[in-house]
Structure 1
Amino acid sequence: MIAKRTSRLAVLVALPAALALTVGVSSLAVAEGTGAFQINLDQLNDSGSKGTAMLGLQGNRLTVKIESEGLVPGQPSAQHLHGSTDGHDFHCPDASDDTNGDGVLNNTEATVDYGDINISLTTKGPTDMASGLAVDRMPVADAEGKLSYQRTLTVSQDVVDHIRDLHIVQHGIDRNSNKKYDFDGAGKSELDPKLPQEATAPTNCGEVQGAAVGSIPVGGVETGTGPAEEQGVPLAALGAGGAGFVAVTGALALARRRKGVLGAGRTGGNGAAA
């Protein structure tokens, strides 16, 4: 009995020290450019979409893992890392940002809050801002509206230094519940009238929650899910709208910077493409 009690006391005494050591190691790892960060994806536009993402850093290698659901079945979901690495604070928007009051938070309205595209989370090929709506290289939700994504990228030092200031946004909604992107659900996209609003409106958003213990293993090659399939809106049509998707984020830069100055009580950073 005495032996058991002594053993228990030893464990209780050792536990705080072990926790402190774990936290210390994690903080040191983050400072050295390694570590894991969690992002909880919450719905926008009453989409019902949610998920979890993990960002794993090892030097300038960033591994992004996303598991999400509530997406439009069989449709490509444009997805990006947004945020700032130049001192501006961006964050996820909410329904109050629907400034034209049409009941849909479109990308133009939301970009004022979540900032420019830093990294386009494509499945292969380039990941810069110009690939923001390269839906032929974006992941596709399965028949149940679930999406799994993983890719390892080489990123700039600015992204490494400001990883906590970045966040993930996925796009694509289904307002009329017919399991495809069409014009009947929410009309035309404000980015390109040839595109449905459903294809470009954000479906969820999540901000980095902080460092997790340990890190995500980083592979030696870029990985990801397969290329998008031609279902619903033709990929060629969506690709043509990519220029509009990218152009509007740049056009809003001045407005966002003014907003950042007015909200000087908050700080953040703007990201760089991989």
Structure 2
Amino acid sequence: MLTYPQIDPILFAIGPLKIHWYGLMYLIGFAGVWVLGQKRAQQPWSPIKPAAIEDLVTYGAMGVILGGRIGYILFYNFSEFVSNPLILFKIWQGGMSFHGGMLGVFIAMWIFGKQKNCTMLQLTDIIAPLCPIGLGAGRLGNFINSELWGRTTDVPWGMVFPNGGALPRHPSQLYEAFLEGVVLFIILWVYTSKPRPTMGATGLALFCYGCFRFFVEFFRMPDAQLGYLALDWVTMGQILSTPMILIGAGMLFWAHKKAA
């Protein structure tokens, strides 16, 4: 069993102002998209110029935050929302959904594309290889916050998490940081190292993330208010990831079929 590192979730505080590690991870993700997005926008096939990346990041950030919060409430805490709609605004209590954030980004890119006379998929193809930076950083933030820990285990790298009981658990946040962050970044970066058909990068990103998330859900504890939704092992994360896998595979196949 490994010892869980006791890291203060608050990075530093100045009077009443507190900067949390989790918030810093969001900034790292947005900064990564901005820096690498500048390089990608210089490519001749890019539908937008480097100067537009700052606005693209702003739209994307709004999509992540609004979509992530609304998605969490609708997907994971809808019953409480029905009885108390104000919980939607209690962001200090936590609760963000990747799948909701993803939908928020698609909507944001559709709106931004209307302004730049390009399609939503052309824009998502640009940012898809960059999103793993934020995904990996966000999972590290979950680990530092000691949240979203895994199921109990007897593997040598199991950890006893604060508020997670006395038994060691899978550090599933680190599994996700590695797969959704490092591995997904490498796959998408290599794939997009040369021109690809429109929606190819988006489809590959959806497919790979869906597969990785579906797999890690076997080690991650489901949300307490939902538990297992079927067969004593199916989780909400797996249900939401299944359409991603199917749609992503279909997009990837169709993109290359049209190109051929």
Q: TM-score range by the shorter chain?
A: under 0.3
TM-score by length of 1: 0.24
More strand by share: 1
Larger Rg: 1
